[in-house]
Amino acid sequence: MAEPMRQLRLHLGAHKTATTHLQDTLAHHREALLARGADYLPCEAFRPLAHRYSRAGTWRMRAWPLMKGRFDRQFEALRRGPGRVLVSDEDLLGYAYDLLAAPLYARPKALHVIRHLAGRAETAVFLGIRSFDSLLPSAYAQTLKAVPPPPGGMARIRAELARSPPSWAELADRLAAALPGASLRIWRQEDYRRDWRQILDLYAGCPLGPLAELPPPALTRSPSASAVAEAEALDPALPRAERIARVRAIYAARPAGPEHGSYAPLSLAETDRLRTRYEEDLEVIRHRHPGMLVETGQSGSP
């Protein structure tokens, strides 16, 4: 019998901020986490449940008050026992293409699910962020796995974001306002790459010990410029499942690296501007929300 859920530790992404590494690592070490009193619900089990109750369609929103009990029963069936429950699913916020326009994640598709879970226990919410100069190309390449490129492709996206730059600080403000009873902590993907064990300890709410490093996930490797161009040229009428399979095969055949080069669509001026925007966002978050931004180091804990 599972204990009542006393604490929910909810990681919301964002996309392309090492979420797959976090999810794969915790799933691989789930038994070790259970021994430390933390129950990680694997994303491949939780995500279909969340999708079931948050797909587009007004009937689902109208029916949600009647469906909450069924959702709770199915959620409880995923648990293994401890009262501290860890959930990580970036699709609760939206999809990778929601990073290609401002505001970021303009309409979180599962906010009602997030609020419902947060209302059941003491809740800590976590968000990973990343500098826009590296995030935008990665998010665009990821988007092509699911949908055709928008008219004008990356050039149009670059022009639109130059007029209306994205802001992590604005997203932090909205999440804090939408979840007033929850604490919100934000870490930088750049720090996670170096200090991921410290950050996972913070997320889990307990020391997890010397977790083994897993091999990099093959499905999230960055593609080369020629692979992105081939994905852009696919028939826009392809069924979604076929598009996903075709793009995955293209990216696997020509990943970024010495042999195929890298996908780098931004100019030096754009790169500098986006890095400056990111640094400004970090300062805004520090000023508006003291303690929200996780500061890590090579030693010690965040």
Digit-coded pLDDT (tens) for 36-87: 999 999 999 999 999 988 865 555 667 888 889 999 999 999 999 999 999 9
176: CB partners within 8 A, 6+ apart:
184, 289, 292
pLDDT of residue 42: 97
Task: Look at residue 105 in the predicted model and tell me its pLDDT.
Answer: 96
Query: Smallest Cα–Cα separation from 101: which of 152, 177, 149, 159?
Result: 159
In the β-sheet with 7-11, what is the strand arrangement from edge to edge? 38-41, 84-88, 7-11, 122-129, 183-188
Q: Is it the case that residue 280 has pLDDT exceeding 90?
A: yes
Mean pLDDT across the chain: 93
In DSSP terms, 243 is beta-bridged to none
Residue 66 confidence (pLDDT) = 87
Instruction: With CA atoms as reference, report the closest residue to 243 among 232, 253, 254.
Output: 232
pLDDT bracket for residue 300 (50, 70, 90)? very low
Domain ranges of the chain: 7-132+166-216+279-288
Q: Tell which wins on pLDDT, 217 or 23.
A: 23
CA–CA separation, 229 and 86 (whole Å): 38
Q: Name the pTM for this structure.
A: 0.94
Between CA 121 and CA 124 the distance in angstroms is 10
Looking at residues 232-257, what average pLDDT do you find?
96
CB 122 within 8 A of CB 178: no
> pLDDT-derived band of residue 212, with 50, 70 and 90 as boundaries?
confident
Assign 184 a pLDDT band (cuts: 50, 70, 90): very high
Nearest to 279 by CA among 191, 168, 195, 199: 168
